[in-house]
Structure formats: C-alpha cells, structure tokens
Amino acid sequence: MSPLPDKPYCALKYLVIRGRLPNLSSPQTFTEKIQARKLYDRNPLFPRFVDKAGAKALIAERVGDQYVIPTQWVGTDLAGVDWSKIILPVVVKPTHASGVGRFLYERSDIDRLLHSNPSAEWLAIDHAAYNREWAYRQVERRILVETMLLANGRVPWDYRLFTFNGKVSHIEVDIRESGQGYSCNYTPDWRKLEFYDPDYLGLYPGEVPRPARLDEMIHVAETIAHDIDFVRVDLYASADWVYVGELTFYPGGGFEAFEPNDYDLVLGEKWRVDFEIPKR
C-alpha cells in the first residue's frame, strides 16, 4: 500500500485519472461522492454486502433465498475442492474482489484451472489498498464456487440497477455479442439514456428489449437498498427468474468516466448522502 494517507491518495489518483482535483469537502458529482464515501462512510452493512459469499444470507433475509445464486463451495485453496461433488457449469471467483473469475463448463476447464491454480493470486487482491475502498478491509478473503446461471443456454446479460436513497435511478445493461462487449443505460420505465462510460465498454448501438421481469427486478433492488443512500444492485434475469449477482458501493473506485461528462453531476445530484463529511 502507498504510504500516502487515504485522502491525499484518493485526491491525487483522481487528478491523474480525471484531470482535476475532486471536491472532497463538499462533493457534488457522483465520482466525488464515491471518493467521500471511501473516506468517511463507515456503514457496518457495507462489509457484509461486499463479501460475495457472506452477502447471500443478508440478501435472503431481505428478499428471499429464491433470489440467491446457489453456493457449491467456499474456501481458500482451489486444490482442496472435491470436484466430484461440484455440479457443472459453475463460476469460480474471489469473495472480496470484482472483475476476476473463471467459467467452468466441463472437466477440462477444471484441469486448466487447477494447473494454474490462481488461489494465492486472487487472495492477494486488495481493493482497500489500491482504491482505498474501506469496506474491503473488513472482509475475509476467500474463493467462491457458485452455480452458473444460463438463459437460453448462454450466460445472461448483467443488469446493474443504480439505486439512490432507496429508488432505482437507472439500469446499466452489460452485453456480450460475438465476443464484443457493450454497455448502455435505461430509465426504470425502459427509455434509453444516451450516456455511458467510454473507459469501460462501447455504447450499444441498438435497443435492448425490456426485461420480462423488469418490475420484479426493480422491486428486488429497492427492497435490498431501502436503507442505503446509494448502492448498485447487480442482477441477472431471464423470463423465468431473477438472481442477485452482487452489490457494489464504489463503482469504478469513483474514477469512472462519463460521456457526456455532464452525467457525473446529474447522478451526483440524485444522491443525498447520509454520512457526515468534514468541512475542511
């Protein structure tokens, strides 16, 4: 970890990535408020929710276990898994990190995973160090094997419901087509919004069909997030089911870009923070 304290570290990293210093004493934009949350918000729910294994019990308490993806194994070394008891296909990922994991469809995928065995590498990932995301300092680092969700034989699209003060503001849809990734955003009544993160995925040029269970998805997200000033609730959905993937409290570490850039402020104005920010 850098010897810099959290506040100057976040400010300087923001300057390097975004090209300006953030307003941390009176944050206005969405990304500034994420930085302030990292520094000052110590909500005890956050560590419980960012633990991808431990969060499942809390999600079940709030919306029911029918929305929880089944767990097949949790531990610290993939070499210790009894793979004869694992029902393929599965997703393997660390419980304390994002953007890392493997899809296992058949026995040969297991063999390749064990040949490289990323357990130690994954357990070394530390969001608290390189992004100063406080909640991850409290999480036990483990590896999760969970049932892979399939919709019509394919991995379902990722629906990310941005929920401010208990209400869904918009829904980001992450799409994979022909090996290419796209993203786009929709209102809760399914009107396309013309903004996206140009540093993440390209803007999807077409229209995304309204999800069959959209109302249920919004209800699930708002029920989970009813007492949280902001959280992104990531869901998977098909015509037959809705499952909660994960909850994200620091999207992009608070460094993500917006195109058009005005949307950083538009989203910031939706967020009424409920933690104290020192005026200095």
Residues 184/172, Cβ–Cβ less than 8 Å: yes
pLDDT value of residue 266: 98
Which one-letter amino acid corresponds to residue 254? G
Mean pLDDT of 69-97: 98
Q: How far apart are CA 215 and CA 176, in angstroms?
A: 23
Q: How far apart are CA 166 and CA 274, in angstroms?
A: 12
Place 178 in a pLDDT band, splitting at 50, 70 and 90. Answer: confident
Burial zone of 153 (CB within 10 Å; 0-12 exposed, 13-18 middle, 19+ buried): exposed
Q: How far apart are CA 46 and CA 41, in angstroms?
A: 9
Residue 1: pLDDT above 70? no
For the ranges 10-19, 108-117, 152-161, the lowest mean pLDDT is seen at 152-161
pLDDT value of residue 167: 99
pLDDT value of residue 49: 98
Q: How far apart are CA 68 and CA 246, in angstroms?
A: 10
pLDDT value of residue 2: 62
Place 179 in a pLDDT band, splitting at 50, 70 and 90. Answer: confident
CB atoms within 10 A of CB 22: 22
pLDDT value of residue 95: 97
Beta bridge partners of 170: 162
Q: How far apart are CA 59 and CA 136, in angstroms?
A: 18
Residue 56: pLDDT above 60? yes
Mean pLDDT of 94-105: 94
pLDDT value of residue 22: 98
Which one-letter amino acid corresponds to residue 202? G
For the ranges 56-60, 92-96, 98-102, 170-174, the lowest mean pLDDT is seen at 98-102
Non-local (6+) Cβ contacts of 52 within 8 A are 93, 94, 95, 96, 144, 246
Mean pLDDT of 104-121: 97
Burial zone of 6 (CB within 10 Å; 0-12 exposed, 13-18 middle, 19+ buried): middle
Percentage of the chain beyond pLDDT 70 is 99
- HSE on the CB side for 106, CA within 13 Å? 1
Residue 74: pLDDT above 80? yes
> Would you list the domain boundaries of the chain?
70-148
Non-local (6+) Cβ contacts of 108 within 8 A are none
Residue 32: pLDDT above 90? yes
Q: How far apart are CA 9 and CA 58, in angstroms?
A: 32
Q: Write out the E strands in 76-140.
A: 90-94, 102-104
Residue 183: pLDDT above 90? yes
Q: Write out the E strands in 123-191.
A: 143-147, 158-164, 167-177, 180-186
Topology adopted by domain 70-148: Dna Ligase; domain 1 (3.30.1490)
CB atoms within 10 A of CB 120: 10
Q: pLDDT per residue over 221-279, tens digit each?
A: 999 999 999 999 999 999 999 999 999 999 999 999 999 999 999 999 999 999 999 98
